[in-house]
Amino acid sequence: MRDIRLVKAFLDVPLKKFIPNELSSHFKIYTDAPVLFYLDKLNPETLRTISAPHMISIMLQHLLLEEDDDLLIIGAKSGYIAALAHKLAPKGKIAILEANQDIAKITRDNLERNNLQERISVIVDNPLNGLMELAPWQKILVTGAIKQEKILPLLLQLDSSEGVLFAPIGENLIQNYTQIIRIDNEFYAKKHLQVRFTPLITQIELDELKLMTEITEINPKDITPEHELSIENIIINYSSDI
């Protein structure tokens, strides 16, 4: 772990405060492994875990967070990763986009229990749309598996002055955790490691969102901060050195 700030963050933010009591007693939460924080017994497909500590450290270090960065986190992960990120970017705004209402409530309760409700907001919406009304974002973290074509709306919401997106990009079985940096209207990417994440959003959650609210289809022309770039002409330049 290269960032000493992150070491301190792990020490300052207790994981046990982000795990429901009924689940924490069944797991050794302070091991380097994912920890279950949500399970819908009627829909097992929607189970959710907090990533293993080594994976969280990889995520946050590759975001290159500065203290005043605005960060969008796609997928709540119980609020734990956001709480750690707040230690690295205490002067920026942090927003979490979550598709599942139950997980959003758990996350809000966790943040309130840790006195972070004024620092970190939780919004229930389709995370694939991003949060254009608060863009640009200096940093965007995607915490679930996502196909490359699905990240394009998010890339358009990155700050054009070296904004960073970090995401597990690929199909459902294996993904590449990929760092993408935006410089003006160019995107430069590096694949860092292969991972296996659950999908960012399940069909069950999409269906529930449609029942809860009208989901507006995104018009690419509506999400171009500089009005010079659209989804159709984004090119991601992959390199082994960025």
Q: Cβ of 146: how many Cβ atoms within 10 Å?
A: 24
**pLDDT for the residue numbered 215:** 44
CA dist., res. 37 & res. 23, Å (int): 7
CA dist., res. 190 & res. 212, Å (int): 37
pLDDT tens digits for range 64-85: 999 999 999 999 999 999 999 9
pLDDT at 52 over 90: yes
pLDDT at 179 over 50: yes
Supply the CATH number for residue 23's domain: 3.40.50.150
pLDDT tens digits for range 125-165: 999 999 999 999 999 999 999 999 999 999 999 999 999 99
User: What is the spatial order of strands in the sheet that 139-142 belongs to?
Assistant: 120-124, 94-98, 71-74, 139-142, 161-170, 175-183, 186-195, 236-238
How many domains would you assign to the chain?
Answer: 1
CA torsion angle 105 108 114 115 (round to 10): -140
**Predicted structure pTM score:** 0.88
Look up the domain containing 230 and give its range.
4-238
